[in-house]
Amino acid sequence: MQNFLAATSYPKMVKIKIVGCRETFSPRPVLEKNTMLAALEEQLKKTGLQAAAADHRYAGPEDVACDFCTGRKLKAIKSCLVCLASYCEKHLQPHYDVAPLKKHKLVEPSKNLQENICSKHDEVMKMFCRTDQKFICYLCSVDEHKGHITVSAAAERTERQRELEERRGNIQQRIQDREKDVKLLQQEVEAINHSADKTVEDSEKIFTELIRLLQKRSSDVKQQIRSQQETEVSRVKDVQEKLEQEITELKRKDAELEQLSHTEDHNQFLLNYPSLPALSESTHSSSINIRPLRHFEDVAAAVSELREKLQDVLRDSWTNISVMVTEVDVLLSEPEPKSRDEFLKYSCEITMDPNTAHTKLVLSEGNRKVTKMGHHQSYSSHPDRFTVWFQVLSKESLTERCYWEVEWRRTWIHVSVAYKNISRSGDGNESKFGGNDKSWAVNCYSDGYQFGHNNIWTSISGPVSSRVGVYLDHRAGILSFYSVSESMTLIHRVHTRFTEPLHAGVLRPVQVDPASRPLMAGNRHQHLPDPNGIKV
């Protein structure tokens, strides 16, 4: 019977006509549900839902397909590095149920499994040849790679993973360092602004007490301070921005390394590892050097002096105020050199001053070599001559960036810098290099070093060589001593504020105790290029 009926109502009778076959029934028959058709309809509904759900499980062009499905393949949910096959949920079940298969290594679905097959022996490549830097199978290891350094892919992965973690550690450390530098720079910006604001305020108070003629000078000072303030803040913020950009780049690289570190397929990890970009050298030193706080305080002091002076004195002193403003310089122009070639760019001519040499010291080779004699020399009397300690100072006064080396032999020596007004007489610390606040010295022994300033001595261990390099950045307040051989090894670095020009100096031993300080073994000259240094 058809499923659809049409009915026509009359006053006394009803005719029923089948829509499909057009047969008419009168009287109206009893209508019943077509159970067969209903069952078919229900089945079609279920089949349609299942088909729709299955569509999401079938592998698309970009998906990894199950290698064991016939006909239309389902998506793989895992790949086996032992079977070198990918499995859908149904075909993967034996790997969870069968004991031998449970030991197989399952990873996320991969299309690159065939890359793990040796093209020559058709075997799985489970080994890595470090000699040729390539994957090999066992047969390769006993054939063409016999005698090479070979390890398992897992062992190589472990080693590369360790290297990766070290690189990540370095990056994370650099991020921390740069974040500290950014914070330091922000604090410096606030200090500059505070100092500049206070100086402007003090200057305005002073200038308001002066006559109308001083009002123009007050305006000029304010303008110059603000200009220098803007310049310094701009320089600091520029460095700050670059450091923040470097932090962003380092974080991006760290994210790439972290993503690679989670790769479960050893071979895929090793294939992608060499393509990672090398970590670029930082454009800045590992830390930011800030000059000792000077800012604009000297400007206010100079302005205060003018308050007591007349118009002609104001005219003469104006230059001093202008210079004080322009000398506000927070950041070092360049970081400290690292290699000897970089240090030698700042090499300076150092000659010793005969008028300062103790009478048992002989100068030669253009006053660049100092030799201690057993008897006094017939030097003329001079107020600059050291009378007790076997010391000598350089002629040159050092006020900029400069570098020199001292070559020494035999027992021990003080390599030092000092102000010219250091005491020249007396056997106390006031005239000894490193024994007062006017000198800084490194005492070089055959087994180590001592650094001294203001008679505070600190023992320092490190490689001893016959050359000591001295690097001075007077404006930045940096004084560094290096052991010079095949490389530059830092002995000690000083951060301070130098208030006067410095002079290079050396102190030869007065008495040596052989038991505690053995003699140097022979001539330890390193045959390095001579940077206009001192020989002792």
Provide the 10 A C-beta neighbour count for residue 469: 26
pLDDT bin (cut points 50, 70, 90) of residue 8 is very low
pLDDT digits 0-9 by tens, 329-339: 665 556 788 89
pLDDT at 229 over 70: yes
- C-alpha to C-alpha distance for 209 and 218, rounded to whole angstroms: 11
Instruction: Please check whether residue 95 is in contact with residue 101, taking contact to mean a CB–CB distance below 8 angstroms.
Output: yes
pLDDT at 417 over 90: yes
With a pLDDT cut of 70, the percent of the chain lying above it is: 76
- pLDDT for position 47: 53
| Average confidence (pLDDT) over 100-126 | 84
Considering only 8-12, 224-228, 462-466, which range has the smallest mean pLDDT? 8-12
pLDDT bin (cut points 50, 70, 90) of residue 292 is low
Q: Which 3 state secondary structure label does DSSP give 450?
A: strand
- pLDDT for position 251: 92
Half-sphere CA count of 137, side-chain side, radius 13 A: 12
- pLDDT for position 105: 82
Most confident of 38-47, 212-221, 432-441: 432-441
Distances (CA, A) of 255 to 168, 259, 261, 379: 9, 6, 10, 71
- pLDDT for position 113: 79
- pLDDT for position 49: 45
- C-alpha to C-alpha distance for 187 and 325, rounded to whole angstroms: 20
pLDDT digits 0-9 by tens, 306-337: 666 665 666 666 767 776 777 666 655 567 88
Provide the 10 A C-beta neighbour count for residue 92: 21
- pLDDT for position 330: 62
